[in-house]
Chain A
Amino acid sequence: MNVKQLWRERSALVIVAALLIALSVIGWTAMGQRPFVRTLLSGLTLGALLFMVASGLTLIFGLMDVLNFAHGAMFMVGAYAGWQFYTNPTFLFGLAPLVLAVMTGLALTPVLRKLSIDWTIPGHWRQALRTALIVGSLAVALLGVLGLGFKELAETAMVPSMVAADPLEEATPQEPLATFWYRPTLLLAAALLLALAQARPGDRSQVVHREEVRRGLILASTLLVLTLVATLVREAGPLAVLKMDANWRFVLSLLVGALIGGGLGAVVEMGLIRPLYERPLFQVLVTLGLAFVLTETIQVLWDPLPYQMSRPPLFSQPGKAESIWAWMTEHTSTVDVMGVTFPSYRLFIIVLGGVMLVALHLLMNYSRLGMIIRAGVQDREMVEALGINVRRVFTLVFVLGAGLAALGGIGAAPFIPVEPVMGDRFMMQGFITVVIGGMGSYSGAAVGALLLGLSRAFGDYLALKFSLTPAISEASTVIVMAIVLLVRPAGLFGRKE
């Protein structure tokens, strides 16, 4: 433990910090206070958004070696989910019972494993049985959703219900409960068949932990209750949400968006990534395919149009607050920050990014899960040899990463257009961020996002000032990446292999 060692570890951070401070001083004097502060704040906003995408991407890659090309799509799904929930949650409430029913069934997998592990099935029949179960499950699921008006449900939010004085008028007629209830029931049955296939009946090489069975039962019964509740509040729920205070509805949208993103992450990891661990290239391909599927699905449901989600009242009162303190009471859409008029919502994004960084830091350094993730990034095999189910940690990290990306999406929705291409756009930037920061390092992702955000903002400023092509700001990000990689091939915080 000496100065040299400390320098080797912290040099990246010190150099970046010194560079940023030097550039800030130059920028401040050359640009003048106002343009500088405005550009800086824009850069920070973009940096915060990039961090939300890149942090999950880098964790997933570092731990699982999976380049998740669907990460941008998760960002997009989060934006759409949050926008739906905020504008008119009829669609989400309509689907919730079905999704919850499926989850209930799948949660029973360990229980079914315990029940079916001692069945005597000849080896060659086992695979056939599994195939039959999966096919049967798909058939039952199809039967369950047949005739359900997905598109009609989806369109409920396309007409912003905010314009209507009474949100109740916007309520779309739904299937009456008397004809609806069979759908969740069938989906539950389908999920049970799938869970039985997952349980691999008769395969005695599996170990059934009593703890897992108990947890499965508790989880499944909780989900079952939620399914019932969701079925019953299918119509009342959206109205209750719409009548709620809009600020609280926005907070709920953030949560719902992140939850949906995380849930999607869980499904993707367990259904697509996990069966392909022996074939890493296929994992990358499958995430790429998934990105296309998600983008197209969203185009079908909501057309390729851009939507603008309205900002919650907390950030949308007319006028300008003289300071952040004044904004606290006035809730205006713009705030005066050091002489610059800046949208208050963007300041919120910067704060949200900061909060996420702190939360991630606490999780990674002060929890057992974080400890296992850090260890697993370095040596997965050894973590497994300690008796830790690394695959389950993979799922958690995937859920966490997808949830963060989705949270970023819904956070961004009120100030960038919600449209099917938003995922791709952030995806590429996210990859560059991760490469700059070093694969697998969330602090690297934070620094990379900061660098990228600032270079884009200042690139835009330069392009405008010297009437250069706006492409210069796009190019600047790649230039930053090239320079970083020349100096440090593993990225700023990457470890040399």
Chain B
Amino acid sequence: MSHILTVDAIQTYIGQFHILEGVSLSVRRKSITVLLGRNGAGKTTTLKSILGLTPPSEGRVVFDGEEIQGKRAYDIAGMGIGYVPEHRAIFRDLSVGENLKIAERQKGDLDRRSDFIFSLFPDLKRLYHLPGDHLSGGQQQMLAVARALVPDNKLLLIDEPSSGLAPVLIEQVMEAIRELSATTTVLLVEQNFLMASQLGEHYTIIDEGKSVHEGEMEELVEDEALIQQYLGASVAQGGGGR
């Protein structure tokens, strides 16, 4: 079984709005798959639907050989999915250490993984006792990623890790995600096409709530017509000089 996650034609409503009208994608083990698409195409909702935060009303989600659509978000997460939401949603009232500790699913998770986490993000060790809202934007992003690494997650859903970060910090976050892909699987939403194309091995494009294209990143980079058609604006924004 080479795919750890298969999403099959899911449809999701938020309130009365039909946000996802048929999204399919699959994620191979130990790889980085990127979800591409314009603003408002439904990328974030796709991640939330996989995790059960906005449960899909139709379609199937298979994770690690088990159907998970309709299960509670905490059960799905408990099966080994880590979530790094957009806008660095760390807990501001908790210290850095508590932000990590709260992610433990079993006692001792953090002790087991702390060496690995601090080798990726050495800053966090220094900031361990500070409250979350004393951190800079970049540090908060590191913490949000680190938090998803505390339990033994088989899949990480990472939403827009570069948004609002200075270029230097984007480099640092990219480096961390690249290192992660050696040991775990990543499904990444990224507006910044440059970053997405350098990190991703496979891609799925979502447009107006539907998945419209998927394939290998190497081929997409060559296909300017396709990029222009679906990602025009975001490529220009993300420095699409390529």
A146 at the A/B interface (Cβ < 8 Å)?
A: no
Cβ A378 vs Cβ B74 within 8 A: no
Cβ B94 vs Cβ A385 within 8 A: no
Cβ A371 vs Cβ B89 within 8 A: no
Cβ B102 vs Cβ A372 within 8 A: yes
B33 to chain A, nearest CB (A): 19
CA distance A390 to B92 in the complex (A): 18
A387-B78 CB under 8 A given contacts A5-B134, A375-B93, A382-B89: yes
CB < 8 Å: which of B71, B83, B92 contacts A205?
B71
CA distance A61 to B163 in the complex (A): 32
Cβ A1 vs Cβ B74 within 8 A: no
- How many residue pairs at the A-B interface have CB separations less than 8 Å? 66
CB < 8 Å: which of A1, A207, A378, A387 contacts B92?
A378
Cβ B71 vs Cβ A386 within 8 A: no
Cβ A382 vs Cβ B93 within 8 A: no
A74 to chain B, nearest CB (A): 27
B124 at the A/B interface (Cβ < 8 Å)?
A: no
B58 at the A/B interface (Cβ < 8 Å)?
A: no
Which A-chain residue is minimally distant from B92 (CB atoms)?
A378
A1-B93 CB under 8 A given contacts A385-B85, A388-B74: no
B105 at the A/B interface (Cβ < 8 Å)?
A: yes
CA distance A289 to B98 in the complex (A): 39
Cβ A374 vs Cβ B85 within 8 A: no
Cβ B130 vs Cβ A1 within 8 A: yes
Cβ B93 vs Cβ A384 within 8 A: no
Considering only residues 31-84 of chain B, those with a C-beta below 8 Å from chain A are 51, 53, 70-75, 77-78, 83
CA distance A271 to B74 in the complex (A): 21
CA distance A86 to B104 in the complex (A): 44
A447 to chain B, nearest CB (A): 17
A389 at the A/B interface (Cβ < 8 Å)?
A: yes
A381 at the A/B interface (Cβ < 8 Å)?
A: yes
B101 at the A/B interface (Cβ < 8 Å)?
A: yes
Cβ A375 vs Cβ B74 within 8 A: no
B109 to chain A, nearest CB (A): 11
CA distance A385 to B83 in the complex (A): 7
B89 to chain A, nearest CB (A): 5
Residue of A5, A368, A372, A388 ringed by the most chain B CB atoms within 10 A = A388
Cβ B134 vs Cβ A378 within 8 A: no
B138 at the A/B interface (Cβ < 8 Å)?
A: no
B95 to chain A, nearest CB (A): 10
A386-B102 CB under 8 A given contacts A374-B91, A374-B93, A378-B93: yes
Report chain B residues within 8 Å CB of A387.
Answer: 74-75, 77-78, 105, 151
Report chain B residues within 8 Å CB of A1.
Answer: 130, 134
Report chain A residues within 8 Å CB of B147.
Answer: 386
CA distance A1 to B96 in the complex (A): 14
Cβ B78 vs Cβ A382 within 8 A: no
A375-B94 CB under 8 A given contacts A384-B53, A385-B85: yes
A375-B53 CB under 8 A given contacts A384-B74, A384-B77, A389-B74: no
A382-B77 CB under 8 A given contacts A372-B102, A387-B105, A387-B151: no
Report chain B residues within 8 Å CB of A166.
Answer: none
CA distance A386 to B99 in the complex (A): 11
Interface string of A444-484 (1 = CB under 8 A from B): 00000000000000000000000000000000000000000
Interface string of B96-134 (1 = CB under 8 A from A): 001001110100000000000000000000000010001
CA distance A381 to B86 in the complex (A): 13
Cβ B51 vs Cβ A385 within 8 A: yes
Report chain B residues within 8 Å CB of A386.
Answer: 74, 77, 83, 102-103, 147
Cβ B75 vs Cβ A207 within 8 A: yes
Cβ B98 vs Cβ A371 within 8 A: yes
Which B-chain residue is minimally distant from A2 (CB atoms)?
B134
A215 to chain B, nearest CB (A): 16
Report chain B residues within 8 Å CB of A152.
Answer: none
Report chain A residues within 8 Å CB of B71.
Answer: 205-207
Considering only residues 296-335 of chain A, those with a C-beta below 8 Å from chain B are none
A300 to chain B, nearest CB (A): 40
CA distance A5 to B136 in the complex (A): 13
Which B-chain residue is minimally distant from A1 (CB atoms)?
B134
A243 to chain B, nearest CB (A): 45
Which A-chain residue is minimally distant from B84 (CB atoms)?
A385
CA distance A385 to B72 in the complex (A): 10
A379 at the A/B interface (Cβ < 8 Å)?
A: yes
A382-B85 CB under 8 A given contacts A371-B98, A371-B102, A375-B93: yes
Cβ B53 vs Cβ A381 within 8 A: yes
Residue of B74, B94, B134 ringed by the most chain A CB atoms within 10 A = B74
Considering only residues 408-466 of chain A, those with a C-beta below 8 Å from chain B are none
Which B-chain residue is minimally distant from A381 (CB atoms)?
B53
Report chain B residues within 8 Å CB of A390.
Answer: 74
Report chain B residues within 8 Å CB of A388.
Answer: 74, 102
CA distance A206 to B93 in the complex (A): 33
Which A-chain residue is minimally distant from B157 (CB atoms)?
A385
A335 to chain B, nearest CB (A): 40
Which B-chain residue is minimally distant from A374 (CB atoms)?
B93
Interface string of A376-398 (1 = CB under 8 A from B): 01110111111111100000000
Report chain A residues within 8 Å CB of B134.
Answer: 1, 5
19 A/B residue pairs, CB under 8 Å, sorted by A: A207-B71, A371-B94, A375-B91, A375-B94, A377-B93, A378-B91, A381-B53, A382-B85, A382-B91, A384-B53, A384-B73, A385-B51, A386-B74, A386-B83, A386-B102, A388-B74, A388-B102, A389-B72, A390-B74
New contact pairs (9) apart from A374-B93, A375-B94, A386-B74, CB-CB < 8 Å: A205-B71, A382-B91, A384-B72, A384-B77, A385-B83, A385-B85, A386-B147, A388-B102, A389-B72
Closest 9 pairs (CB-CB, A-B): A387-B77, A205-B70, A387-B78, A375-B91, A207-B75, A385-B83, A384-B73, A389-B74, A382-B89
